[in-house]
């Protein structure tokens, strides 16, 4: 899953290196580019009212839902803006990680049951304009969404990997190159 509006961004370079590593390791890969796809991130009033309706009633998320049901590892490549995922990616979570796809809520139950048992690994690859310390002080909301909220809807043994370049606004070319190499190597070693 790739989320950035500019094809010339550093995040696009990160995506390309992640894909190079995944392909080198022999993984089957499906890429969704939310901006290029023209994904609509807004949760409509109908979707909110019908959030427990079957996903078949929501045809504009069908391909994204199919990809979630297909993958064993979910790799998210995006910049961190305002301490979290970009609105486009957050909208994808709101609209695609729904009943019938990511979870079910049986009649009379008061707790959801995970459905994405096929996903055993979630990797978040992101950049932050601020330092690790600033992010820690802010509570790392974006990291918590990945490592806590999304993970619990996957396999019980799902693991998360957080690959972040902090303080990118002040990073050197050498630090950026090292980050790109780290991303590619991590994807080569992804199990």
Task: Please tell me whether residue 94 adopts helix, strand or coil conformation.
Answer: helix
Residue 60 has a CB neighbour count (10 Å cut-off) of 12
Rounded CA gap, 190 and 184, in Å? 10
Note the pLDDT tens digit of each residue in 78-136: 999 999 999 999 999 999 999 999 999 998 999 999 999 999 999 999 999 999 999 88
Burial tier of 10 (Cβ tally within 10 Å: 0-12, 13-18, 19+)? middle
| CA neighbor of 147 nearest in space, from 133, 132, 163 | 163
b (16+ CB within 10 A) / e for 99-125: bbbbbeeeeeeeeeebbbeebbbbbbb
Q: Which CATH number fits domain 10-188: 3.50.50.100, 3.30.200.20, 3.40.30.10, 3.40.50.360?
A: 3.40.50.360
Per-residue model confidence (pLDDT) at position 191: 83
Contact 67, 32 (CB under 8 A): yes
pLDDT at 162: 97
Report residue 139's pLDDT band, with 50, 70 and 90 as the boundaries.
confident
């Amino acid at each position: 899953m790739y989320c950035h509006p500019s094809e010339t961004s550093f995040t696009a370079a990160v995506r390309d290196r992640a894909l190079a590593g995944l392909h080198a390791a022999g993984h089957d890969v499906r890429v969704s580019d939310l901006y290029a796809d023209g994904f609509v991130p807004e949760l409509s009033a109908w979707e909110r009212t019908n959030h427990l309706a079957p996903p078949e009633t929501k045809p504009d998320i069908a391909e994204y839902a199919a990809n979630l049901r297909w993958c064993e590892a979910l790799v998210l490549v995006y910049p961190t803006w305002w301490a979290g995922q970009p609105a486009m990616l957050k909208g994808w979570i709101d609209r695609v990680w729904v009943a019938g796809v990511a979870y079910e809520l049986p009649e009379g139950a008061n707790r959801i049951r995970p459905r994405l048992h096929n996903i055993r690994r979630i990797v978040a690859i992101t950049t932050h304009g601020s330092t690790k310390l600033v992010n820690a002080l802010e509570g790392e909301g974006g990291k918590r969404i990945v490592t806590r909220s999304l993970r619990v809807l996957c396999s019980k043994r799902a693991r998360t990997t957080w690959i972040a370049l902090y303080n990118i606004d002040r990073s050197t070319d050498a630090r950026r190159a090292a980050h790109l190499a780290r991303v590619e190597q991590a994807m080569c070693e992804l199990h």
